[in-house]
Amino acid sequence: MLSNQSLKIFLYALPAAPVAALYFPVFVYLAEFYSSDFNLSIGAIGITFLIVRLFDGFLDPIFGYLSDRIRVPFLGRSVWLLISTPIIIVSVWYLYVPNTKVTPSMGYFIFWLVITTIGWSAFITPYYALGTELTQDYNKRSIVAICREASVLTGTIIAACIYAFSENSISAFKNIAYFIMLTLPIFSVICVMSIKKSSVNEAKFDSLKSVCGFVSNVYKNRPYLKLVLAYFINGAANGLPASLFIYFVNAKLNLAEYAGILLLVYFLSAILAVPVWIYLGKYLVKPKLWCLSMVYASVVFFFVIFIGDGDLIPFLIICCFSGAAVGADLGIPASIQADIIELDAKETGKDRAGLFFAIWSIITKSAIAVSSGLGLVLLSIFNFSENVENTSSALLILTLLYCIIPIILKIMSVIIVWSFVSDQSELKS
C-alpha cells in the first residue's frame, strides 16, 4: 500500500502525462504534419518555432512571478493549473485539428501555436514549482522529479502509440487532442485537490524590486550558472534529434511506416530504466549520475553514424538503449534545481520557487528553440524536402544535425557538469 507521501507524489505527477502528450507532438510531429499535409514551408515553420519558443521563454518569468505572488486560499499556486487548463483545451483542438476542407495558412498555424504556448507556460511553471513543496528531503526530491518525468514519459508513450496506430497523421493528431481534452482537466483537479499547503508556502514573497535583485544575484552565482549552461547545451543536444527524428527515419532510413514503433520502443525503454536511475541515485551524487547518463547516451548514439537505408533492426536497438538515458536526463537536473531552491528559501526566508523554475524553463525552451528552429532552417537552406528525393549533401546535413552535433554538445555538457560541486552533506543537514 502506498504511504500518504507516495500517494501525494503519484497524484501530483498525473497531469504531467497529458501535458507531455500535448508538447511531444509539437516537438516531434507538428513540423512534418504541417509541411507534408498542408505544404507549409519547412524553413518558415523552423523560423516560427524559433520565435514562438523564445517568446515562450519570455512568458516563464511572468508566470513564475505571478504564481509566487498570486495565490488562492487553500489552493496556493496550484490555482494556475485550473486557470490554464481551459486555454490548453481550446487551443490544442484548433492546432491539432485544423479544418482540412480549407488549407490552414501560416497565420493560422502561428496564431494557434502562440495561444497553445501561452496556456502551456501558464501551466508548467507553477506546476514544476509545486513539486518543490511536496518534500524537503534531499533524496525524496529526486523521487519527486523522476516520478514526474516518468509520468511525462508515460504521456509521451501514449501520444506515440496513438500516432503509430492511427490511420494517418490527421486522425493521429485528432485522437491525441481527444486524449488531452479528456484527461488534463480530470488530472489537474485531482492534483490540485491532493496538494496541501506546506511550510514552504509560508515564506515571504518577493517584491518586484527584489525580483530584479534576485535575477542579478543569479548571474553572480557561478555554480548555478554552470548548471543552467550545462542544461542549455544538453537541451540543445536533445532537441536536435527529437525535432529531426521523423525526417531522419523517413528520408535517411526509408522507414516511415515504422516511425511510431521506433518512438514507442525508445520511450518504453526510458520508463523501464527509471528504477535503475533511482537505485543508482543512492550511491552517486546527482551531478555525477547526470554525467553518467549523458556519456552513456552519447556512446549509444554514436552508432547511428553507421546505419543507412532500411536498417530497421540496428536502429531499433539504438532506440532501445539510448531511450534508457531519458529518465535521468530529465529528472536529475530538476532535482538539483530543487536542492538549490531549498537552500535559497532557508537563506532568504522567501519562496521563490516560481522564479527559479521560470529561469529553468527559459533555459529549456531557449535550447529547444535554437536547436529545433535552426535545425529546420538549415535543412531548408540545403534544399531538404520530404516530398522529393534529396541530394547526398542534404542527407549528410541531416545526419550531422541528427547525431554528430548532439554528441559533441553532450560531451561539452559533461565537462561543465563534472566541475559542478554539489555539497550533499549540507543539503541533507
Please give the Cα distance from 309 to 33 (Å, whole number): 23
* Rounded (to 5) percent helix, strand, coil in the chain: 80, 0, 20
Residue 351, pLDDT score: 63
All cell numbers assigned to 129: 514549482
Residue 5, pLDDT score: 73
What value does the mean pLDDT take over residues 256-274?
Answer: 86
Examine the pLDDT at 216 and tell me if it is beyond 80.
no
Q: Give the pLDDT band (50/70/90) at residue 50.
A: confident
Domain-wise residue ranges, the chain: 9-428
Please give the Cα distance from 249 to 345 (Å, whole number): 47
Of the listed ranges 128-132, 263-267, 328-332, 349-353, the one predicted with least confidence = 349-353
Examine the pLDDT at 340 and tell me if it is beyond 90.
no
Examine the pLDDT at 324 and tell me if it is beyond 70.
yes
pLDDT tens readout for residues 17-47: 999 999 888 888 898 889 888 888 888 998 9
What value does the mean pLDDT take over residues 351-369?
Answer: 74
Q: Give the pLDDT band (50/70/90) at residue 201.
A: very low
What value does the mean pLDDT take over residues 246-255?
Answer: 90
Q: Give the pLDDT band (50/70/90) at residue 173.
A: very high
Output the DSSP codes for 29-75. THHHHHHHHS---HHHHHHHHHHHHHHHHHHHHHHHHHHHH--BTTT
**Amino acid identity, position 133:** E
Q: Give the pLDDT band (50/70/90) at residue 130.
A: confident
**Residue 32: Cβ-neighbour burial (10 angstroms; 0-12, 13-18, 19+):** buried
Residue 198, pLDDT score: 44
Examine the pLDDT at 200 and tell me if it is beyond 80.
no
CB 420 within 8 A of CB 287: yes
Examine the pLDDT at 426 and tell me if it is beyond 80.
no
CB 274 within 8 A of CB 150: yes
> In the predicted model, what is the mean pLDDT of the chain?
82
Q: Give the number of other CB atoms < 10 A from CB of residue 419.
A: 10
Examine the pLDDT at 67 and tell me if it is beyond 60.
yes
What value does the mean pLDDT take over residues 286-303?
Answer: 91
Q: Give the pLDDT band (50/70/90) at residue 139.
A: low
Residue 425, pLDDT score: 46
CB 244 within 8 A of CB 402: yes
> Higher confidence at residue 217 or residue 260?
260
What value does the mean pLDDT take over residues 2-22?
Answer: 85
What value does the mean pLDDT take over residues 180-196?
Answer: 89
CB 331 within 8 A of CB 281: no
pLDDT tens readout for residues 388-416: 788 888 889 999 999 999 999 999 999 98
In the chain, % of residues over pLDDT 70: 84
Please give the Cα distance from 43 to 251 (Å, whole number): 17
Q: What is the model's pTM?
A: 0.72
CA distance to 29, 35, 91, per residue, from 112 (Å): 16, 16, 6
Please give the Cα distance from 159 to 419 (Å, whole number): 37
- Which residues have a Cβ under 8 Å from the Cβ of 255 and sit 6 or more positions away? 249, 262, 310, 312, 315
Q: Taking each helix axis as running N to C, give the angle between helix 312-323 and helix 259-280, from 0 to 180 degrees, rounded to the nearest 10.
A: 30
What value does the mean pLDDT take over residues 258-269?
Answer: 87
Examine the pLDDT at 317 and tell me if it is beyond 90.
yes
> Higher confidence at residue 281 or residue 45?
45
CB 332 within 8 A of CB 145: yes
CATH class label, 9-428: mainly alpha
